[in-house]
Structure 1
Protein backbone atom coordinates (compact mmCIF):
# COMPACT_ATOMS: atom_id res chain seq x y z
CA UNK A 1 0.00 0.00 0.00
CA UNK A 2 1.24 3.49 -0.86
CA UNK A 3 1.91 6.39 1.44
CA UNK A 4 -1.16 8.04 2.87
CA UNK A 5 -1.83 11.66 2.03
CA UNK A 6 -0.77 13.55 5.14
CA UNK A 7 0.16 16.75 3.35
CA UNK A 8 -2.21 19.62 4.09
CA UNK A 9 -3.22 21.69 1.10
CA UNK A 10 -4.17 25.29 1.87
CA UNK A 11 -7.24 26.56 0.04
CA UNK A 12 -7.44 30.35 0.10
CA UNK A 13 -10.80 32.13 0.26
CA UNK A 14 -11.59 35.83 -0.05
CA UNK A 15 -14.89 35.71 1.84
CA UNK A 16 -15.87 34.93 5.45
CA UNK A 17 -17.37 31.57 4.54
CA UNK A 18 -17.57 29.20 1.59
CA UNK A 19 -19.89 26.23 1.07
CA UNK A 20 -18.55 22.70 0.85
CA UNK A 21 -19.73 22.55 -2.77
CA UNK A 22 -17.82 25.73 -3.65
CA UNK A 23 -14.79 24.41 -1.77
CA UNK A 24 -14.70 21.18 -3.80
CA UNK A 25 -14.62 23.19 -7.03
CA UNK A 26 -12.05 25.70 -5.70
CA UNK A 27 -9.77 22.84 -4.60
CA UNK A 28 -10.03 21.28 -8.10
CA UNK A 29 -11.57 18.13 -6.63
CA UNK A 30 -14.57 18.44 -8.96
CA UNK A 31 -14.87 20.15 -12.34
CA UNK A 32 -18.17 21.94 -11.77
CA UNK A 33 -20.52 22.83 -8.95
CA UNK A 34 -23.08 20.44 -10.41
CA UNK A 35 -20.82 17.50 -9.56
CA UNK A 36 -20.85 18.30 -5.82
CA UNK A 37 -23.98 16.30 -4.99
CA UNK A 38 -22.67 13.23 -6.83
CA UNK A 39 -19.19 13.54 -5.31
CA UNK A 40 -20.57 13.84 -1.77
CA UNK A 41 -22.77 10.77 -2.27
CA UNK A 42 -19.72 8.74 -3.37
CA UNK A 43 -17.03 9.97 -0.92
CA UNK A 44 -16.75 10.41 2.83
CA UNK A 45 -15.87 13.97 3.81
CA UNK A 46 -14.72 14.96 7.29
CA UNK A 47 -14.80 18.59 8.41
CA UNK A 48 -12.81 19.16 11.60
CA UNK A 49 -12.91 15.35 12.14
CA UNK A 50 -16.72 15.27 11.87
CA UNK A 51 -18.35 13.54 8.90
CA UNK A 52 -20.54 15.86 6.84
CA UNK A 53 -21.90 15.31 3.34
CA UNK A 54 -23.94 18.55 3.02
CA UNK A 55 -22.79 20.55 0.01
CA UNK A 56 -24.23 23.69 1.64
CA UNK A 57 -22.14 23.20 4.81
CA UNK A 58 -20.44 26.51 5.55
CA UNK A 59 -16.65 26.41 5.88
CA UNK A 60 -14.63 29.18 7.46
CA UNK A 61 -10.95 30.04 7.77
CA UNK A 62 -9.19 27.42 9.89
CA UNK A 63 -11.54 24.55 9.03
CA UNK A 64 -9.83 21.30 8.09
CA UNK A 65 -11.37 19.12 5.40
CA UNK A 66 -10.24 15.53 5.02
CA UNK A 67 -11.31 13.33 2.14
CA UNK A 68 -9.83 9.83 2.54
CA UNK A 69 -7.91 8.78 -0.56
CA UNK A 70 -7.91 12.33 -1.94
CA UNK A 71 -6.28 14.62 0.61
CA UNK A 72 -6.43 16.95 3.56
CA UNK A 73 -7.16 20.64 3.12
CA UNK A 74 -7.22 23.72 5.34
CA UNK A 75 -9.25 26.84 4.56
CA UNK A 76 -7.02 29.93 4.77
CA UNK A 77 -7.43 33.65 4.13
Structure 2
Protein backbone atom coordinates (compact mmCIF):
# COMPACT_ATOMS: atom_id res chain seq x y z
CA UNK A 1 0.00 0.00 0.00
CA UNK A 2 1.35 3.43 -0.87
CA UNK A 3 0.69 6.76 0.76
CA UNK A 4 -1.76 7.64 -2.05
CA UNK A 5 -3.94 4.67 -1.06
CA UNK A 6 -5.10 6.48 2.09
CA UNK A 7 -6.81 9.72 3.06
CA UNK A 8 -7.09 11.32 6.49
CA UNK A 9 -10.54 11.34 8.03
CA UNK A 10 -10.77 15.13 8.26
CA UNK A 11 -9.69 15.49 4.63
CA UNK A 12 -12.28 12.91 3.57
CA UNK A 13 -15.07 14.83 5.33
CA UNK A 14 -14.10 17.92 3.34
CA UNK A 15 -13.78 15.92 0.12
CA UNK A 16 -17.33 14.53 0.34
CA UNK A 17 -18.75 17.93 1.30
CA UNK A 18 -19.88 17.07 4.83
CA UNK A 19 -17.60 19.73 6.33
CA UNK A 20 -16.76 22.86 4.33
CA UNK A 21 -13.62 23.57 6.38
CA UNK A 22 -11.00 21.63 8.28
CA UNK A 23 -12.14 23.31 11.47
CA UNK A 24 -15.69 22.07 11.06
CA UNK A 25 -14.42 18.57 10.23
CA UNK A 26 -12.35 18.65 13.42
CA UNK A 27 -15.38 19.63 15.52
CA UNK A 28 -17.59 16.91 14.01
CA UNK A 29 -14.92 14.32 14.80
CA UNK A 30 -14.07 15.59 18.30
CA UNK A 31 -17.75 15.82 19.25
CA UNK A 32 -18.23 12.12 18.44
CA UNK A 33 -20.46 12.58 15.39
CA UNK A 34 -18.29 10.42 13.10
CA UNK A 35 -18.03 6.64 12.94
CA UNK A 36 -15.61 4.57 10.89
CA UNK A 37 -16.69 0.99 10.22
CA UNK A 38 -19.27 1.21 13.02
CA UNK A 39 -16.91 2.60 15.69
CA UNK A 40 -16.92 6.20 16.91
CA UNK A 41 -13.67 7.79 15.77
CA UNK A 42 -12.19 10.86 17.49
CA UNK A 43 -8.82 10.94 15.69
CA UNK A 44 -9.05 13.33 12.77
CA UNK A 45 -5.81 11.93 11.35
CA UNK A 46 -7.25 8.41 11.11
CA UNK A 47 -6.14 6.95 7.78
CA UNK A 48 -9.00 5.67 5.63
CA UNK A 49 -8.65 3.11 2.85
CA UNK A 50 -10.95 2.02 0.04
CA UNK A 51 -13.83 0.03 1.48
CA UNK A 52 -14.03 1.83 4.83
CA UNK A 53 -17.51 3.05 5.76
CA UNK A 54 -17.77 6.52 7.28
CA UNK A 55 -21.00 7.57 8.99
CA UNK A 56 -21.60 11.22 9.84
CA UNK A 57 -24.74 12.34 11.64
CA UNK A 58 -26.57 9.20 10.51
CA UNK A 59 -25.50 9.32 6.84
CA UNK A 60 -23.08 6.68 5.53
CA UNK A 61 -20.42 6.96 2.85
CA UNK A 62 -18.23 4.24 1.32
CA UNK A 63 -14.62 5.29 0.82
CA UNK A 64 -13.39 4.90 -2.79
CA UNK A 65 -9.90 6.13 -3.51
Which one scores higher on RCO, CA 8 angstroms, separation ≥ 6? 1
> Structure 1 length normalisation: TM-score?
0.69
Give 1 or 2: higher helix fraction. 2
Instruction: Let me know the Cα RMSD of the aligned residues.
Output: 1.5
Instruction: Quote how far apart the aligned CAs of 1:43 are.
Output: 4.1
Residue 30, structure 1, aligned to residue 29, structure 2: no
Residues 1-77 of structure 1: matches in 2 within 5 Å? Answer: 15-69=4-58, 71-77=59-65
Provide the aligned length of Structure 1 versus Structure 2.
62
Task: Mark the runs of 5 or more structure 1 residues left unpaired by the alignment.
Answer: 1-14
Tell which structure's C-alpha radius of gyration is larger.
Answer: 1
For residues 61 and 51 of structure 1, the distance between their equivalents in structure 2, rounded to whole angstroms, comes to 18
> Structure 2 length normalisation: TM-score?
0.80
For residues 51 and 38 of structure 1, the distance between their equivalents in structure 2, rounded to whole angstroms, comes to 14
Give 1 or 2: higher strand fraction. 1
| Greater than 3 Å deviation, 4+ residue runs | none
Does the 8 A contact of 1:64 with 1:75 survive in 2? Answer: yes
